[in-house]
A and B are shown apart, each in its own frame.
Chain A
Amino acid sequence: MAYRTYLMVCAGTGCVANQSMKIKDKLESEIRKRGLQDEVSVVTTGCNGFCAVGPLMVVQPDGIFYQLLKETDIAFLVEEHFVKGRPVKELLYTPPKEKIPIPKMSDIPFFADQTLIVLRNRGLINPEIIDESIARGGYEAIAKVLTSMTPDDVIREIKASGLRGRGGGGFPTGIKWETCKKMPGDVHYVICNADEGDPGAFMDRSTIESDPHAVIEGMLIGAYAIGSTEGYVYIRNEYPIALERLQTAIKQAREYGLLGKKVFNKDFDFDIKVVRGAGAFVCGESTALMASIEGRPGEPRAKYVHTVERGLWDKPTCLNNVETWANVPQIMLRGAQWFASIGTGDVTADPWGGSKGTKVFSLAGKVNNTGLIEVPMGITLRKIIFDIGGGIRDGKKFKAVQTGGPSGGFIPESLLDLPVDYEELTKVGSMMGSGGMVVADEDNCMVDMAKYFLSFTQTESCGKCVPCREGTKRMLDILEKITVGEGTEEDLVLLEELSNMVVESSLCALGGSAPNPVLTTLKYFREEYEAHVRNKKCPGHSCRKLITYAIDPQICVDKGHGCHVCAKNCPDGAIIGESKQVHTVDVMKCGKCGICYDVCKFDAISVE
């Protein structure tokens, strides 16, 4: 008998880490216990996107969304919902500051404002079963391409769609394909860059985890257009679930004859090899990635000769990011016109004239709804952060959003109405990047944030170019000096000078963009640098050397009656005072950990 209900349990990395597989097992055993195993089916899907409230599950066909599940909830849930037909209110999603839960997933603002192309199958299919992907239109595009389109038709369509590289650069995909195709030689390669390394970014991982066949199909179409028979996916070894699902998908596609000799029995051969990367950030750069596949150290080279001409093993190579490839099948099926109708600008005359389609972002940092989102190009940052993201956590004030990972820049509140578009983001000193989006609130120190991102790129610099290797190190030293209160006005000038030097004289984009966090914070949050340098204060209250904690004696006694909680929790024994008496902070002993500030229920403790 057919199932009447499907329980779509999220099995993305985030939910799996929160024990969603145990929840799946428990659901199955409780369902069996009640004899419902022929009516209710449990399906593990890729990342649902709303990672903040995982482990989570969606009940279909009703679309009921359950969140923050625990194994102990399951017996009650199964009895109530699947036997008696009553959704369990306590496990539904309730927006912050509201009281009434929203039962249906489609009514939750986080989902309602998204547009899904790349992630269209998330939460709907089990990514480990190829038939489920086919059931949602998988491999229909390559079938269409092989039966009714020439390679030039495909390239024309991609060009007309306005698709641009989703890995960060935004290079028009159609032009890349066309150039690569024109290069002489009988061996051409296609590569999928799945070496996602930005801190806080997980778009590519989730795309592969929820729909690996979309990526494979995109590569098939690209290979057909370019005239390639061999492809590579370069994926981080730290992505075990994505890696496994990709390998499963490739295996199943081979068994179906969708990869290998004579795809669909047509005159077209293509197969994919998976290469695991060891996690060096620089290997996300195309030439370094290719060097790594060849077995050489992952170092970029100068690109006087582009990789489309001489790439992997000096053969013409077309490299695109996971998300770019995953867009391709839908463009082939639904047409360039449809794709170009989403987004900004006009690409009919100038391929750089607009940003088309959607973009996947991983929303992280101080927002309520952290997770994976896909939005149309041109949406404002405000809409992403405040509507989809549900605003800032704990009612704090927004300070900045960092787009584009460690190579991107910080964007202040005054620019929140900026449309998300390749050119617009670049204009303000940031970039689209691969889609990391980290939100900072009033408690974040911008100098410290810049230092964090720079320390990442500094460590990940491959060391080939002196400006990047040494320049970022010196910049980091200066930032360190500033955060401990030893910075001077001259340091700020030097910092800016060094930044520009590193940008201009590095070979690859790692060095070319590493100073972006510093440059944008200097531009938009200069007053914070000045507070550190001139007044030796940290406005975000996070640079330990520059802050002091103090207890208001009046509040401590009048409201708190000398509750002594701060003293009990202080790891340094820095709080003096007996129970029911006034307490004070011994500044010499205080380690500035802020625990007292957090535990005081009476707001008697202040930080300066």
Chain B
Amino acid sequence: MGKIAIEDLAKIQEAARYKIALRQGAGRVRLNVHMGTCGIAAGARGILTEVMKEIESRNLHDVIVTNSGCAGLCSQEPMMTVEVLGEPAPVKYVLLTSEKVKKIIELHVLKGQAVREYALALGSERTR
């Protein structure tokens, strides 16, 4: 470590922005990868890694990634629920592949356009 200048404060802040946003639980978008046994068997772990890579490479500071249990539709796994702040309901995407993940992030997460052809339905099961 060397001495820092006032401008360096902003750089350090920028570098840690995603980390701090996550710790505060603040995000515009929440991506929930379903990780029940069925999901894991169908490749959900790979999907999760893919999602994280996309976030990293696109430098997205406002996207939270979580995982949850089986969504109840095991035949359609791997699945992911996309929740965007301000949108009326979350969207569930099914039978995911890494190409589909890229497109969902490109269109839905960044531009707010749900990708209808990969989507199962609007809405979500209650999680309590």
The CA of A252 and the CA of B18, in the complex, are separated in Å by 23
Contacting residues, chain B, for A258 (C-beta < 8 A): 4
Q: Which one of A5, A8, A257 lies within 8 Å of B66 (CB-CB)?
A: A5
8 pairs from A and B in contact (CB 8 Å cutoff): A61-B22, A83-B40, A86-B68, A125-B23, A252-B1, A257-B2, A257-B3, A265-B3
| A residues 71-91 touching B (CB-CB < 8 Å) | 82-86
Q: Which one of B12, B36, B49 lies within 8 Å of A135 (CB-CB)?
A: B12
The CA of A2 and the CA of B56, in the complex, are separated in Å by 6
Cβ contact within 8 Å between A132 and B3: no
**B53: CB under 8 A from chain A?**
yes
Cβ contact within 8 Å between B52 and A143: no
Cβ contact within 8 Å between A85 and B17: no
Residue of B nearest to A134 (CB): B12
| Contacts A3-B22, A139-B9, A147-B6 known; 20 new A-B pairs at CB < 8 A | A1-B56, A2-B52, A2-B55, A4-B64, A4-B65, A39-B52, A60-B24, A61-B64, A63-B25, A84-B36, A85-B67, A85-B69, A134-B12, A134-B13, A135-B13, A135-B20, A136-B20, A256-B4, A258-B4, A264-B5
The proximity string for A residues 52-72 relative to B, scoring 1 for CB distances below 8 Å and 0 otherwise, is 000000001111000000000
Most buried by B among A86, A125, A134: A134
Contacting residues, chain B, for A60 (C-beta < 8 A): 22-25
Contacting residues, chain A, for B52 (C-beta < 8 A): 1-2, 4, 39
Which 6 residue pairs are nearest across A and B when measured between Cβ atoms? A257-B3, A135-B16, A85-B67, A85-B68, A4-B65, A61-B64
Count A-side interface residues using an 8 Å CB cutoff: 39
Q: Which one of B25, B33, B34, B49 lies within 8 Å of A62 (CB-CB)?
A: B25
Contacting residues, chain B, for A597 (C-beta < 8 A): none
The CA of A132 and the CA of B36, in the complex, are separated in Å by 34
Cβ contact within 8 Å between B4 and A257: yes
**A116 to chain B: closest CB distance in Å?**
12
**B94: CB under 8 A from chain A?**
no
**B27: CB under 8 A from chain A?**
yes
The CA of A258 and the CA of B2, in the complex, are separated in Å by 11
Given contacts A2-B52, A256-B1, contact A62 B23 (CB under 8 A): no
Contacting residues, chain A, for B22 (C-beta < 8 A): 3-6, 60-61
The proximity string for A residues 1-34 relative to B, scoring 1 for CB distances below 8 Å and 0 otherwise, is 1111110100000000000000000000000000
**A114 to chain B: closest CB distance in Å?**
15
**B22 to chain A: closest CB distance in Å?**
5
**B35: CB under 8 A from chain A?**
yes
**B19: CB under 8 A from chain A?**
yes
Cβ contact within 8 Å between A62 and B66: yes
**A140: CB under 8 A from chain B?**
yes
| A residues 239-266 touching B (CB-CB < 8 Å) | 252, 255-258, 264-265
The proximity string for A residues 353-366 relative to B, scoring 1 for CB distances below 8 Å and 0 otherwise, is 00000000000000
Cβ contact within 8 Å between B16 and A132: yes
Contacting residues, chain A, for B40 (C-beta < 8 A): 83
The CA of A48 and the CA of B40, in the complex, are separated in Å by 34
Given contacts A61-B66, A134-B9, contact A256 B23 (CB under 8 A): no
The CA of A83 and the CA of B68, in the complex, are separated in Å by 9
Cβ contact within 8 Å between A85 and B5: no
Cβ contact within 8 Å between B25 and A61: yes
**A491 to chain B: closest CB distance in Å?**
58
**B19 to chain A: closest CB distance in Å?**
7
**A124: CB under 8 A from chain B?**
yes
The CA of A264 and the CA of B5, in the complex, are separated in Å by 5
The CA of A135 and the CA of B9, in the complex, are separated in Å by 8
Q: Which one of B23, B25, B69 lies within 8 Å of A86 (CB-CB)?
A: B69
| B residues 23-54 touching A (CB-CB < 8 Å) | 23-27, 33-37, 40, 48-49, 52-53
Most buried by A among B25, B40, B48, B56: B25
Cβ contact within 8 Å between A131 and B16: yes
The CA of A252 and the CA of B2, in the complex, are separated in Å by 10
